[in-house]
Amino acid sequence: MEEFEVFEFPKSLSHLAVFAYDERRNDYLCRLAGEMVNASHLTTLKNSLLSEVYEPELAIKIRTDWNRAFDTKKVLCVTAKLDHPSETLYSWRHILPVHLEGRAGKVILSLSVYNYDSAYYHDKYPKKAYQDYQLSADDILY
Residue ranges of domains in the chain, CATH in brackets: 14-139 (3.30.450)
Residue-averaged pLDDT of the chain: 78
What is the pLDDT, as a whole number, of residue 50?
Answer: 93
Please indicate, yes or no, whether the overall pTM of this predicted structure exceeds 0.85.
no
Q: Which of 78, 141, 85 is nearest to 114 (CA)?
A: 78
pLDDT digits (tens, 9 = 90+) for 72-115: 888 888 887 777 777 777 788 888 888 776 655 789 999 888 77
Report the C-alpha gap between 84 and 107 in whole angstroms: 32
φ/ψ (deg, to 5) at 46: -55, 130
